[in-house]
Amino acid sequence: MRVGFIGLGIQGGPMARRIAAAGFPTTLWARRPEALREFADTAAVFADSPAELAAASDLVCLCVVSDADVREVLTGPQGVLAGLRPGGIVAVHSTVHPRTCRELADEVAHQDISFVDAPVTGGGPAAAAGRLTVLAGGAAPTLQRCRPVFDTYAAQVFHLGPVGSGQVAKILNNLLFTANLATADSALTLGRELGLDPVRLAELFNNGSAASFALGRMVAAGGTLQSIATHAGGLLRKDVHLATDLAHQVDAADGVVFDAAVTTLATMDRLLEQ
């Protein structure tokens, strides 16, 4: 399978590198030419536009930031859909609104192109180590065609249902992660006030019944939310807003998970203002 990859950031870059290293013919495109220089030591080739990348690909993977970015890269004048042949597949690894994925899936179907929403979780180090988790929505046969590529950077691939299901699961995952940061920060702050080293306390917690991925991120960040707020605050805010929208669509009660997530975001805002 020939693979095109767009979105060579902290997470997408290692994913693309693993695809190329596994021997799949890989084509890359980036808005910033300097992003491609990181791949000069790989077998990947570079395209001048998303359309050119798509013309050389059977599967196009997108790992860009926002709904608007996904739409632009896919449907713009020199977008992926201008070059991808019938029978091709688009896989969206970005975390975006499920509605965006469903609308785009309907649009690409008119060109006999398949669509999978496949957001990932784990972060850049997990991508580099091939330990990401893919949360996929789409037709099972389409996902099976993608699996050899996904398996280059993922330890687990979950099929959640039709297009949009992967996004729902990823948004809820990020909502819970954001909420867990609030409880971890609260416990570590109390520990500091009681005279304990928050980093040592976090390491202790993370080796016992209080362990969580969020706590592990705080250990890596020095026992505070400062670094996480700087590097991931905006993305977490986006995902909490997406979760709020999904909850309102079905008139679901916000619940304690939203209360904790909002507390995390407010704490991050205070830290960034300092």
For the chain, where are the alpha helices, taking DSSP H only?
A: 12-21, 33-37, 50-55, 67-75, 98-109, 124-129, 140-150, 165-193, 198-205, 213-220, 226-249, 255-273
Specify whether 238 is catalytic: no
Q: Cα torsion at 112, 60, 68, 34 (round to 10°)?
A: -150
Q: How far apart are CA 65 and CA 173, in angstroms?
A: 17
Q: How far apart are CA 216 and CA 155, in angstroms?
A: 19
Catalytic residue among 93, 97, 159, 170: 170
The count of C-alpha atoms lying within 13 angstroms of the C-alpha of 179, restricted to the half-sphere facing its C-beta, is 15
Query: What are the catalytic residues?
Result: 170
